[in-house]
Amino acid sequence: MKLRFDYNNMMDSAIGSHGIKASAIDKAQKAHAAAFADVIENSGKGWQEWTESPLLDKTAVDELNAFGKSIRDKATSFVVLGIGGSALGPICVCNALLHLHHNELPKTVRKSPKLYVEDNIDPERMAALLDVIDIKTTYFNVITKSGETSETLSQFIILYNALKKAVGDAAAKEHIFVTTTDGKGSLYEVAVKEGFKIFGIPSGVGGRFSVLSNVGLVPFAVMGLDIESLLYGAKTMREACERPDIRSNPALMTAFLQYLSMKSGKNISVMMPYADGLKYMSDFYCQIWAESLGKAVNKAGKTVNVGQTPAKSLGVTDQHSQVQLYTEGPFDKVITIIGVDSFGDSVDIPADESAEVGEFLKGHTLNELINAERKATEFALKKAGRSNFTITMPEVNAETVGELLMYFMYETAFAGAYLGIDTFNQPGVEEGKKATFAMIGRAGYESKLKELESVKKDEKFIIK
Ligand code: PA5
């Protein structure tokens, strides 16, 4: 394992009364064993098929790479249509592993198409996309596990229609490929009928756990990323997360520390990477943590209303906004810092610059400065008695990103097991989906529409 996990600043020995006692970890051996068994014994089963994703064989990887190259060679732009778990994996991995201004680079330098991941249905965003792409040389990956999601289906309809007008019915089919559950869902049926290339998603891999399935791998292949190393990293982390001793299992340990923190009222979990490439890892984390752990009932059906609100933060940018709150506000947060030892580039702050300003900075590098600021934040948090732990990546590459993603998935699964909830369902999002269907006039939702229409707003609570 390349990642390092330092949880000193979660402990009372470092941060005082708001910290966790080492004995609390030792005393909870039964809880650790139960949480570990809950996840590991179900590995590869039910909704835990995601644990198998890193084991993809070489032939399948080669096929993906060959397909990716075939698209890369002819596409000027590549557009992913998806939302939630069907978009965040492609977003966070591509942001971590591609040049930070990938789309602005000249084609000869970037070597892969411009990338757009469309995870919203803002009409201005769709119109803006159509303004900047040349649809005749753009390829679209429609990603939806269920094949039923309104947002993704509406995007597909709009763009398939635009494609047919631009290149003709037959050629349009070559511009679309679909990633969805094999043999199931409306989009699967349409894809078969229209003759689109289909990439399957195993039935036991849920949206927010799907980044290492075809949901992520197809876009990564198109963008020319190193899938083999990504999966290798994920496999290495899987092995680390299968260690039964909590003291050597990073995901089990931090899940437990978060669980204890939740029990003591630390209901906010801040994810704070110190690297722009990892900015969207926070979005990935926020989704998996919120949608998996925010639950009304436990597995026994008892009302528990648990969960920890995830918050995104970026070092060093948010040192100048949120860190004030983290160090002096309520003791209701756990801050996870992600540090990077060695950045992909090094930028000097020239020692020989004659402008008489910032003398203390001259001769250093931005690399030194960002890591000094990260350590300074850790220090300030510790001094203020705030719970925090640091994950360090030696560098950001496909292997370490694979490790980080797998760690997030295992950490979430273990946290759900400690809480005794179903980590893999999301009943809370259903009501909104049904109300949308009703308002947009989908057949079968007439009574829901009546229910919606019966809701009256009181004018006296509206300010105009
Ligand atoms: O994690 C989840 O299950 C959700 O966020 C889904 O990924 C999201 O709702 C999109 O669903 P689908 O992939 O079925 O279009």
pLDDT at 430 over 90: no
Measuring from each residue's beta carbon to the nearest atom of ligand 1, which residues come in under 6 Å? 83-86, 144-146, 149, 152, 206-208, 291, 426
Q: How far, in Å, is the centroid of ligand 1 from the Cα of 333?
A: 27
pLDDT at residue 385 in the model: 98
DSSP letter, residue 11: B
Q: How far, in Å, is the centroid of ligand 1 from the Cα of 277?
A: 24
Q: To test the ligand 1 pocket, which listed residue (146, 179, 211, 289) has its Cβ within 8 A of the most ligand atoms? A: 146
Task: Give the number of residues written for the chain.
Answer: 464
- Dump strand ranges (E) for 368-441: 387-393
State which ligand 1 atom lies nearest to the alpha carbon of 209.
Answer: 1
pLDDT at 375 over 90: yes
Greater model confidence, 302 or 182: 302
Greater model confidence, 355 or 231: 231
State which ligand 1 atom lies nearest to the alpha carbon of 84.
Answer: 5
Examine the residue annotation and report whether 433 is marked as an active-site residue of this protein. yes
- Sheet (strand 176-181) strand order: 114-118, 77-81, 138-144, 176-181, 197-201
Q: Residue holding tokens 């949880």?
A: 7
Looking at this protein, which amino acid is placed at residue 320?
Answer: H
List pLDDT tens digits, range 188-239.
999 999 999 999 999 999 999 999 999 999 999 999 999 999 999 999 999 9
Sorted by sequence, the CB contacts under 8 Å of residue 425 that are 6+ apart come out as 47, 295
**Phi/psi at 163 (5° precision):** -60, -45
For residue 217, which of 196, 241, 201, 233 has the smallest C-alpha distance? 201
Return the residue whose CA atom lies nearest to atom 3 of ligand 1.
207
State which ligand 1 atom lies nearest to the alpha carbon of 85.
Answer: 7
- Kindly state the average pLDDT of the residues 261-287: 98
Q: How far, in Å, is the centroid of ligand 1 from the Cα of 132?
A: 27
Does an H or E element contain 156, and which?
A: helix 150-167
Tokens encoding 190: 């349409």
pLDDT at 431 over 90: no
Q: Which of 102, 164, 312, 433 is catalytic?
A: 433
Give, in order, the Cα–Cα distances in Å from 186 to each of 54, 81, 153, 180, 426. Answer: 28, 16, 9, 10, 21
Sign of dihedral through CA atoms 96, 102, 108, 109? negative
Q: Which of 101, 193, 320, 460 is catalytic?
A: 320
State which ligand 1 atom lies nearest to the alpha carbon of 143.
Answer: 13
State which ligand 1 atom lies nearest to the alpha carbon of 426.
Answer: 3
Sorted by sequence, the CB contacts under 8 Å of residue 273 that are 6+ apart come out as 279, 281, 282, 314, 315, 337, 338
Kindly state the percentage of the chain with pLDDT values over 70.
100
Reading phi first (left if > 0) and then psi (alpha if -120 to 50, else beta), residue 147 is in: left
- Kindly state the average pLDDT of the residues 272-298: 98
CA distance 394 to 400: 8
Examine the residue annotation and report whether 291 is marked as an active-site residue of this protein. yes
- Kindly state the average pLDDT of the residues 294-310: 97
Cα–Cα–Cα angle for 144, 279, 132, rounded to 5 degrees:
60
Strand, helix or coil for residue 372: helix
- Kindly state the average pLDDT of the residues 422-428: 93
- Dump strand ranges (E) for 149-260: 176-181, 197-201
- Kindly state the average pLDDT of the residues 255-262: 98
pLDDT at 362 over 90: yes
Strand, helix or coil for residue 243: coil
CA distance 338 to 392: 6
CB 271 within 8 A of CB 282: yes
Task: Categorize the per-residue pLDDT at 365 as very low, low, confident or very high, splitting at 50, 70 and 90.
Answer: very high
Chain-wide mean pLDDT for the chain?
A: 97
CA distance 217 to 67: 11
Q: How far, in Å, is the centroid of ligand 1 from the Cα of 50?
A: 14
CA distance 100 to 95: 7
Tokens encoding 91: 């977003």
- Dump strand ranges (E) for 250-322: 268-273, 295-297, 303-306, 309-312
Does an H or E element contain 329, and which?
A: none
List pLDDT tens digits, range 334-348.
999 999 999 999 999
Q: How far, in Å, is the centroid of ligand 1 from the Cα of 348?
A: 43
Q: To test the ligand 1 pocket, which listed residue (142, 149, 433, 437) has its Cβ within 8 A of the most ligand atoms? A: 149
CB 192 within 8 A of CB 147: no
Q: How far, in Å, is the centroid of ligand 1 from the Cα of 84?
A: 5
Q: Max Cα separation, the chain?
A: 74
Buried (b) or exposed (e) across 427-461, using 16+ Cβ within 10 A?
Answer: eeeeeeebeebbeeeeeebeebbeeeeeeeeeeee
State which ligand 1 atom lies nearest to the alpha carbon of 180.
Answer: 13
What count of other Cβ atoms lies within 10 Å of the Cβ of residue 375? 14
Q: How far, in Å, is the centroid of ligand 1 from the Cα of 149?
A: 8
Q: Which of 291, 378, 403, 411 is catalytic?
A: 291
Q: Residue holding tokens 């999966």?
A: 231
pLDDT at 429 over 90: no
- Kindly state the average pLDDT of the residues 401-409: 98
- Residues 10, 15, 16, 20, Cα dihedral to 10°: 0
Q: How far, in Å, is the centroid of ligand 1 from the Cα of 214?
A: 14
List pLDDT tens digits, range 89-106.
999 999 999 999 999 999
CB 224 within 8 A of CB 235: no
Return the residue whose CA atom lies nearest to atom 5 of ligand 1.
84
Kindly state the percentage of the chain with pLDDT values over 90.
97
Examine the residue annotation and report whether 320 is marked as an active-site residue of this protein. yes
Q: Exposed, middle or buried by CB within 10 Å (0-12, 13-18, 19+), for 147? A: buried
Tokens encoding 109: 């330098």
Q: To test the ligand 1 pocket, which listed residue (83, 143, 155, 284) has its Cβ within 8 A of the most ligand atoms? A: 83
List pLDDT tens digits, range 49-95.
999 999 999 999 999 999 999 999 999 999 999 999 999 999 999 99
CA distance 401 to 105: 23
DSSP letter, residue 211: T
For residue 115, which of 127, 132, 22 has the smallest C-alpha distance? 132
- Kindly state the average pLDDT of the residues 372-401: 98
The model carries a pTM of 0.96
For residue 452, which of 463, 462, 438, 464 has the smallest C-alpha distance? 438
